[in-house]
């Protein structure tokens, strides 16, 4: 599910950056979305990110559902989100249909990815190298392509810097998810089959670990790097910590930490 989401996120931003199609109300003044919808409808319109992301996640859940009720519920959520984007006027039917299609493509590619790495020795490493090359090419594409500078009432419709930041986040999620999963599977093999007390402690340490990463990426990185590059490394660090480094710490030191908490409770 996560790899499907990561690939879908990269694909969505690539398509948005490539086609640079404005929102429906910009193209047709008869479309007037409600105020609450405008706050989240930033960037370009095609394809619908909400629709595509929802398809890439709930589509996987529907495929893997063991009961028809669960499968139907996920399909219903996909349909509802797709319809809602058109109903409130933030996307056209074309945006939504292509979002559904692109989300389905992301699922199929990730299913093929899973089959490939299971059947071929070093298959995951080979694909990881391919994804690294795609990542480098995507960064160069987003950073150096030209973006339309369209103004309405002296206001820039889509700021290229904002577009670059969104794209860099998506590229980072794409590559870091596959990289971290590869490293976790090879060196960690993290398990969630523990008691609830251990899970609560894991959550506490996990949230505590995110704080310095967030502070560093928000207040230090923008000083050292262009803002869009800073957003790439911010996302990289957060995903890498959550998927690989955080489970690695628990695998190596969880027993010591649990003994420490037990000793504190006795004292």
pLDDT, tens digit, 9 for 90 and up, residues 10-68: 999 999 999 988 888 888 888 888 888 777 777 888 999 999 999 999 999 999 988 99
Above 70 in pLDDT, residue 138? yes
Between the alpha carbon of residue 266 and those of residues 117, 201, 259, 260, the distances in Å are 48, 17, 11, 10
- Residue 260: which pLDDT band, with cuts at 50, 70 and 90? low
Above 80 in pLDDT, residue 211? yes
Domain coordinates of the chain in residue numbers? 2-155, 196-266
Q: For strand 151-152 and strand 155-156, is the pairing parallel, antiparallel, or unpaired?
A: antiparallel
Contact 217, 172 (CB under 8 A): no
Instruction: Compute how many other C-beta atoms are within 10 angstroms of the C-beta atom of residue 60.
Output: 21
pLDDT at 86: 92
Rounded mean pLDDT, 187-192: 79
d(CA 225, CA 230): 6
- Residue 203: which pLDDT band, with cuts at 50, 70 and 90? confident
Give me the residue label for tokens 């505590």.
Answer: 208
Kindly report, residue by residue over 87-122, the tens digit of the pLDDT.
988 999 999 999 999 999 999 999 999 999 889 888
Angle between helix 49-64 and 93-119 (nearest 10): 40
Between the alpha carbon of residue 238 and those of residues 7, 54, 241, 242, the distances in Å are 17, 22, 5, 6
Above 70 in pLDDT, residue 247? yes
pLDDT at 7: 94
pLDDT at 41: 73
pLDDT at 205: 80
d(CA 58, CA 47): 18
- Helical H runs in 158-245? 160-187, 196-219, 221-224, 227-240
Above 70 in pLDDT, residue 261? no
The helix (H) or strand (E) run that includes residue 152 is strand 151-152
pLDDT at 85: 92
pLDDT at 27: 84
Q: What share of the chain is helix, strand, coil (3-state, %, to 5)?
A: 80, 0, 20
Burial (CB < 10 A; 0-12, 13-18, 19+), residue 180, is buried
- % of the chain residues with pLDDT over 90: 52
d(CA 123, CA 218): 36
pLDDT at 264: 62
d(CA 105, CA 97): 12
Contact 4, 59 (CB under 8 A): yes
pLDDT at 58: 95
Rounded to the nearest integer, the mean pLDDT of the chain is: 88
pLDDT at 200: 82
- Residue 263: which pLDDT band, with cuts at 50, 70 and 90? low
d(CA 26, CA 84): 19
The helix (H) or strand (E) run that includes residue 24 is helix 24-27
Give me the residue label for tokens 């669960």.
Answer: 70
- % of the chain residues with pLDDT over 70: 94
Kindly report, residue by residue over 216-242, the tens digit of the pLDDT.
988 999 999 998 899 999 999 999 998
d(CA 54, CA 11): 14
Mean pLDDT: which of 117-121, 156-160, 231-235, 259-263 is highest?
Answer: 231-235
Above 70 in pLDDT, residue 265? no
Contact 169, 231 (CB under 8 A): yes
Above 90 in pLDDT, residue 179? yes
């Amino acid at each position: 599910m996560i790899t499907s989401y990561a690939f879908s996120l990269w694909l969505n931003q690539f398509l948005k950056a490539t086609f640079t199609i404005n929102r429906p109300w910009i193209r047709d003044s008869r479309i007037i979305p409600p105020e609450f919808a405008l706050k989240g409808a930033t960037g370009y319109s095609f394809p619908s990110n909400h629709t595509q992301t929802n398809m890439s996640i709930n589509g996987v859940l529907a495929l893997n559902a063991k009961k028809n009720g669960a499968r139907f519920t996920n399909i219903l959520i996909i349909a509802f989100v797709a319809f809602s984007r058109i109903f409130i006027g933030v996307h056209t039917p074309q945006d939504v249909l292509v979002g559904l299609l692109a989300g389905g493509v992301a699922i199929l590619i990730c299913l093929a990815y899973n089959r490939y790495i299971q059947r071929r020795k070093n298959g995951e490493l080979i694909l990881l190298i391919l994804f690294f090359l795609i990542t480098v090419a995507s960064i160069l594409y987003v950073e150096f392509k030209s973006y339309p500078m369209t103004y309405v009432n002296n206001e820039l419709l889509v700021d290229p810097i904002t577009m670059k930041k969104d794209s860099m986040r998506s590229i980072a999620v794409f590559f870091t998810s596959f990289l971290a999963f590869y490293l976790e599977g090879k060196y960690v093999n993290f398990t969630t089959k523990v008691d609830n007390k251990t899970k609560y402690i894991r959550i506490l340490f996990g949230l505590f670990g995110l704080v310095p990463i967030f502070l560093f990426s928000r207040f230090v990185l923008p000083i050292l790097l262009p803002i869009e590059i800073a957003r790439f490394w911010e996302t990289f660090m957060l995903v890498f910590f959550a998927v690989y480094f955080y489970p690695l710490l628990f695998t190596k030191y969880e027993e010591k930490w649990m003994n420490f908490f037990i000793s504190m409770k006795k004292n």
